[in-house]
Structure 1
Amino acid sequence: MNYSMEGEETERLIFKKLTMAYFEDWLPFHQEPKSSEFWTGLPKNPKVACTEQFQRIFERYEKGLGGMHALIEIKTKKLVGICGLLVQIVDDIEELEIGYSILPEYWGKGYASEAAEKCKATAFKNQWANHLISIIHIDNEPSKKVAIKNGMHIEKRTLYKENPVFIFRIDR
């Protein structure tokens, strides 16, 4: 299954498949140190980090493991972030995750919550999963707020890619 959000819309956003055409628009995410302050093991060079992220997204598309989609603001046609449904392995269990990242200039404007809510609604409507998770670093307060606003609760604390995280969960 591909878990594609392509073409889905919210009040302010449309989900589009991520392509290399968005690389330069997404690069400011990796140039802002606060974007990656919680995760260890990421490349320090913004272009390398962005390249590796795009490669992982394209691999997910090819393997049917879901993936992040470009979030385009309907009014301005500008990229504001990326969001999507991703197949993840957490503590040896396959899970479907709602992942989201927003460009720094759009932080605090509700785009992550709006996009995450649409992912939840689409996944449950299409019966892609009986529950969804979000993997959030234990110190990432803004992302925790998005998960809670999306109806999720902390299920457990664990390690994910050598980072301490909370697994937020919501059941259908």
Structure 2
Amino acid sequence: MIKMKYILKNQETKRILFKEVSLLQFNDWLEFHKNPLTSIHWQSELESPDSECKKWYEKQFYRYENDLGGMNALIEKQSGKLIGYCGLLIQTVDEKKELEIGYSLLPKFWKKGLASEAALKCRDFAFENDLTDSIISIISLTNKPSEKVAIKNGMTIDKRTMYHGNEVNIFRISKSQWQKLNNL
């Protein structure tokens, strides 16, 4: 049986439905991998967009099957279209297991507050369900839009480190900080 405690199945926000990742979304998500703007903040050897998209899906299904969290498909309520993905991911940072909020949106949905809306929902879900005592976002030093999302999520820079060959800032919020933000 697949454990999926980190997946926001059937959750929603004002504008977004959270769904499981499905290969039916492949062609829509392929557009993300075709757009050079989506990889400018991350250093890695990239294959063809089709290969990168296939690897991305394989990684999500591996996460699902091994209780390592995973992305959720973000569906715009108004149009029913795929916006992108956001989720709770088990990551190893400096040899320590951490719960991360990860997010990637299709460029046509950038600068509309949707990444922040999805990330806030993931943060609240993690703390409301006692999944962790703190949660992070791993952000490239050059990715200012993602930094803004983390800050809106109540996170602050915890440290700078190397992650998969990239210099990154680790943004963090603790459960006690979240409780103060929400007057709990």
16-25 or 39-48: bigger deviation: 39-48
Shift of 1:75: 1.2
Identity of aligned residues (%): 51
Alignment partner of 1:60 out of 63, 84, 90: 63
Counterpart CA distance in 2 for 1:52 and 1:37 is: 19
What is the SS of the residue equivalent to 2:19? Answer: strand
The residue type equivalent to 1:117 in the other structure is L
> Which letter does structure 2 place at the counterpart of 1:25?
D
Cα deviation, 1:111-142, whole Å, max 9, x if unaligned, reads 10000000000000000001000000010000
CA-atom RMSD, angstroms?
0.9
Q: Counterpart of 1:159 in structure 2: which amino acid?
A: M
Deviation at 1:42, TM superposition (A): 4.0
Give the match's secondary structure for 1:148: helix
Instruction: Please tell me whether residue 163 in structure 1 is matched to residue 166 in structure 2.
Output: yes
Q: Which has the larger radius of gyration?
A: 2
Greater shift in the superposed pair: 1-10 or 149-158 = 1-10
Give the structure 2 partner of residue 76 of structure 1: 79
TM-score (norm 2): 0.91
Distance 1:139 1:37 in 2: 9
Equivalent residue, structure 2, for 1:50: 53
Aligned with 1:159: secondary structure? strand
Displacement of 1:102 in angstroms is: 0.5
Structure 2's unaligned 5+ residue stretches are: 176-184
Q: 1:139 to 1:109 in 2, by over 3 A?
A: same
The list of structure 1 runs, each at least 4 consecutive aligned residues, that deviate by more than 2 angstroms after superposition, is none
- Where structure 1 has 5 or more consecutive residues not aligned to the other structure, the ranges are none
**Mapped pair 1:4 → 2:7:** yes
State whether structure 2 residue 33 is matched by structure 1 residue 30.
Answer: yes
TM-score norm. by structure 1 comes to 0.98
